[in-house]
Amino acid sequence: MDSDALFTERLVLRPPDRGDLPFLLDCMNTPAVMRHLGGEIRSAAEVEDGLEADIAAFADDTYRHWTIWLRGEDRRIGRCGLFSVRSQAAPRPLRGQREIGWTLAEDFWNMGYASEAARAVLAYAFDTLHLPVIYAQTSDSNHASTRMIARLGFVARTGLGYDDPDYPPRDNPTTVWSLAAGDFHDRG
């Protein structure tokens, strides 16, 4: 097993590889999954280019975008990652800060997998990388992610919210949340 993998009770988060492409095309590039990720289905070439970028970034530690697998099964169910805020629309103090994000295939929504994967990535961020704070971004229109972010212990940072031109009006403004390392550990 890859030393860059993360393990939870029900999941294995593995580094991305080219074998993820059929899953990304068939299960992740759907109207339902893409609804809060800009809303647009991407071309096969765009999905493949994105995967290649994720593989390269993982290798050089630019950012990490793990593929989520069901533990003990040969089934991919989603992705969870740790990135840097890149949007030029974001307020200057937010740009370059580390953020967490997740996406699951629709068949695996509402089963607690996203929270479980996010906790593993947060533990990696705080315990391995020793980051002091992690941000999360969503929109009020994404009710499921907003609830999950709050359940994970993130605190809304209303002064950092912004309109992102890469997202449709229904998904603006972008809401920004943060979680400090100490607060994550205090929650157990």
Q: What per-residue confidence (pLDDT) applies to 2? A: 62
Q: What per-residue confidence (pLDDT) applies to 187? A: 64
- Sequence-distant (6+) residues with CB within 8 A of 155 are 177, 178, 179, 183
Residues 37, 106, 59, CA angle at the centre, nearest 5°?
60
Q: Name the burial class of residue 9, with classes exposed (0-12), middle (13-18) and buried (19+) by CB atoms within 10 angstroms of its CB.
A: exposed
- Residue 131 one-letter amino acid: L
Q: What per-residue confidence (pLDDT) applies to 1? A: 46
Give how far the C-alpha of residue 179 lies from the chain's centroid of Cα atoms, to the nearest Å. 15
Rounded CA-CA distance 12/9 in Å is 9
Tell me which residue has tokens 């793990």: 66
Q: Angle, nearest 10°, between helix axes 113-123 and 143-151?
A: 50
Domains, the chain, with CATH or none: 6-186 (3.40.630.30)
Q: Which is nearest to 23 in space by CA: 108, 121, 117, 82? A: 108
Rounded CA-CA distance 163/117 in Å is 28
User: pLDDT 10s digit of each residue in the chain, 188 long?
Assistant: 467 999 999 999 999 999 999 999 999 888 888 776 776 788 999 999 999 999 999 988 889 999 999 999 989 999 999 999 999 999 999 999 999 999 999 999 999 999 999 999 999 999 999 999 999 999 988 899 999 999 999 999 999 999 999 888 888 999 999 999 999 977 65
